[in-house]
Chain A
Amino acid sequence: MPDREPVRRAPRVLAVASGGGHWVQLLRLRPAFEDCEVTYVTVSAAYRTDIPGESLIVVNDATRWQRFQMGVLALRMLWILVRIRPQLVITTGAAPGYLAVRLGRLFGARCVWIDSIANVEEVSMSGRLAARHAQLFLTQWPQLAREEGPEYRGSVL
């Protein structure tokens, strides 16, 4: 039998962002997902109109002071990860992104944190917490890049 090329299926990507600027920034990354099977996770069903025909799951948002909402969000994210089994988690923050990275690691997903372009003087708290669990940790401002991370590799602008 001749050797066959192993069939490479499109990688499964979970693309996660909370609302407003986080979501708009995630949308600007879409050309990077061209050859992927993407599931978007965000906090408002109204964002469906931004990605017609694509798969989107709506979760609740939470701040670090809302422990109950954070717990609910964690359970929902866990369930999403069980169902989708993404090979990659890519997020622009904030709380849903942090949990997706944190929990995604338990399922062996490789994770990317892209800190919001709004964070000009220091990386966000959620970014610093996610950094330990992400294989790629990016800032969008060169002056915030550090030897130990985050790296600067361009921005959404």
Chain B
Amino acid sequence: MIFVTVGAQMPFDRLVLTVDEWARARGRSDVFAQIGLDGRPPRNIEYTRFLEAAEFKRRIREARVVVAHAGMGTILSALEAGRPILVMPRVGARRETRNDHQLATAQRLRELGRISTAMDEAELVERLDQLDRIAAPDAISPHASGELIGALRDFIRAR
């Protein structure tokens, strides 16, 4: 399955409806979307508005590819599960979030080779067409870098 998710906080219709239209045009029936409480319902793909934490994790684990906004909860969950993730950032000017921080987050993480990105709907469709060629990455460690864990341990011990 392709698992589309926009997080629990607000809808992201531009993402969901672009994937919806792509699925119709390509005749794909293997797409499931979590669209948010106020999201506009798609017409061609299965969807739910909200997923509990455990169900969300199961959907990630079982996905072949995750398509999402640039939320760190989703990105880290996908990386921990070793699932490839394609991210389209929310844009502040379109009121999809409060500011443009997702643009920068997505760009940086792509530069680090952690995620694929699509900066707009046209690029999203292009990337969706290439999805089946994306290989699953190795799952990342469930823990932060040794440097950060060490810094915190030192701080905790320095009483």
| Contact for A87 among B72, B150, B153, B159, CB less than 8 A | B159
Contact A121 B149 (CB under 8 A): no
Q: Which residues of B contact A116 (CB under 8 A)?
A: 72
Q: Which residues of A contact B73 (CB under 8 A)?
A: 19-24
Chain A, interface residues (CB within 8 Å), range: 35 or more
> How far, in angstroms, from A23 to B52 measured CA to CA in the complex?
14
Contact A154 B53 (CB under 8 A): no
Q: Which residues of A contact B159 (CB under 8 A)?
A: 11, 87, 110
Q: Which residues of B contact A121 (CB under 8 A)?
A: 101, 104
The number of residues on chain B lying at the interface, defined by a beta carbon within 8 Å of a beta carbon of chain A, is 39
User: Is A126 close to B, CB under 8 A?
Assistant: no
Contact A119 B76 (CB under 8 A): no
Contact A24 B77 (CB under 8 A): yes
| Interface SS, B side | helix
Q: Which residues of A contact B133 (CB under 8 A)?
A: none
> How far, in angstroms, from A23 to B74 measured CA to CA in the complex?
11
Which one of B13-21, B26-34, B38-46, B139-147 is at the A interface?
A: B139-147
User: How close is A66's CB to chain B, nearest CB, in angstroms?
Assistant: 13
User: Is A1 close to B, CB under 8 A?
Assistant: no
| Contact for B156 among A32, A46, A156, CB less than 8 A | A32
Q: Which residues of B contact A62 (CB under 8 A)?
A: none
Contact B53 A155 (CB under 8 A): no
> How far, in angstroms, from A110 to B156 measured CA to CA in the complex?
9
Contact B149 A32 (CB under 8 A): yes
| Contact for A118 among B105, B107, B147, B153, CB less than 8 A | B105
Q: Which residues of A contact B144 (CB under 8 A)?
A: 25, 28-29, 31-32, 154-157
User: How close is A27's CB to chain B, nearest CB, in angstroms?
Assistant: 8
| Contact for B7 among A20, A22, A119, A154, CB less than 8 A | A20
Contact A156 B101 (CB under 8 A): no
User: Is A106 close to B, CB under 8 A?
Assistant: no
Q: Which residues of A contact B147 (CB under 8 A)?
A: 153-154
Mark each residue of chain B from 40 to 75: 1 if its CB lies under 8 Å from any CB of chain A, else 0: 000000000000111000000000000000111111
Closest 8 pairs (CB-CB, A-B): A21-B72, A154-B147, A154-B148, A32-B152, A20-B73, A153-B151, A154-B145, A21-B73
